[in-house]
Amino acid sequence: MAMITFPKDPEKNCFALIGRNLVLKENGDNLTFQDLLELKEREDAGDFFSEPDNHLCALELTEGNTLPSKYKTDTVRHFFATHPEEESYLLARSRALLSWRKDMVYCSCCGTRLEESTDSTSRFCPSCKKIIFPRIEPCVIVLVNRGEEILLARHLQRNQDVYACIAGFMEVGETAEHAVRREILEETGISVKNIHYRGSQSWPFPDQLMLAFTAEYESGEINVQKEELIEAGWFDRNNCPATPQPGSIAYRLIHGLI
Ligand SMILES: [Zn+2]
């Protein structure tokens, strides 16, 4: 267990997470360090870490327990939609690191229990000396334009009620641009050209780095991959159906903000 260090600004950057949800004060304010210490004593408290350089403390709580009435929970996604990028970054980091720490307990080479590194965000094997850094999974997310229309789809595996951009994990050995062409073609049957990078966002569910692109329609008719998409279609960019929430890079792509 990491030593507890009091953050420089105890009113900020203290996160308690329950799965995809975040614990807040009942009035919606962020937790203080004192709140975190109180929650840390509960039976459902799990892993805890602090990063003095980031003024960051994070605690994991087990799902399915009742919190004291002075707290409530909200989704991490809603926090991203309503807070400054700097705070969202630290929450994303908290969630991703708690998830990584849970998964990365033993050395994958020799099975020895890993220890905390003191000079970097990593764990190391005291037996074979392997160093393990947090994993980041690169994904591409693409808005395809055809004149005044944009290509949106409803996905089978996530948020079925919204129309979103095409997205997918990069394959080993690919460039990001190759992944853009492949994902669009595989999932919709559409070929694209003029691929441009627009920005990125960490998306800690659990460890993606979303690389956002725009591309232009080149050829093909929509033919959805049934294992991935419920439907896909061309929509007027000024009259879109329900799209992802603010705070996501998909929202910024669709609404022309990046
Ligand atoms: Zn080892």
Strands (E), the chain: 14-18, 21-25, 45-51, 56-61, 71-75, 115-116, 123-124, 131-132, 137-146, 149-155, 166-169, 191-203, 208-219, 229-236
Assign domain 137-254 one CATH number from 3.40.50.2000, 2.30.110.10, 3.40.50.460, 3.90.79.10: 3.90.79.10
- Ligand 1 midpoint to CA 108 (Å): 7
Q: Looking at the predicted structure, is the pLDDT value of residue 45 above 50?
A: yes
- Ligand 1 midpoint to CA 104 (Å): 12
- Ligand 1 midpoint to CA 136 (Å): 21
pTM of the model: 0.90
Separation in Å, CA 22 to CA 6, 105, 189, 227:
20, 24, 39, 31
- Ligand 1 midpoint to CA 126 (Å): 7
- Ligand 1 midpoint to CA 131 (Å): 9
Give Cα 65 distance to the centre of its chain. 24
Q: Looking at the predicted structure, is the pLDDT value of residue 1 above 50?
A: no
- Ligand 1 midpoint to CA 56 (Å): 29
Q: Say what the pLDDT of residue 131 is.
A: 97
Closest CA to 244 of 180, 165, 172: 165
- Ligand 1 midpoint to CA 125 (Å): 5
Digit-coded pLDDT (tens) for 102-125:
999 999 999 999 999 999 999 999
- Ligand 1 midpoint to CA 173 (Å): 27
Q: Say what the pLDDT of residue 85 is.
A: 83
Going from N- to C-terminal start, the domains of the chain cover 14-103, 137-254
Residue 180, C-beta contacts closer than 8 angstroms, at least 6 positions apart? 140, 142, 192, 195, 213, 215
- Ligand 1 midpoint to CA 110 (Å): 4
Q: Say what the pLDDT of residue 34 is.
A: 93
Digit-coded pLDDT (tens) for 231-244:
999 999 988 888 88
CA distance 81 to 246: 5
Q: Band of the pLDDT at 54, cuts 50, 70, 90? A: confident
Average pLDDT over residues 47-75: 92
Average pLDDT over residues 167-190: 98
Q: Say what the pLDDT of residue 11 is.
A: 61
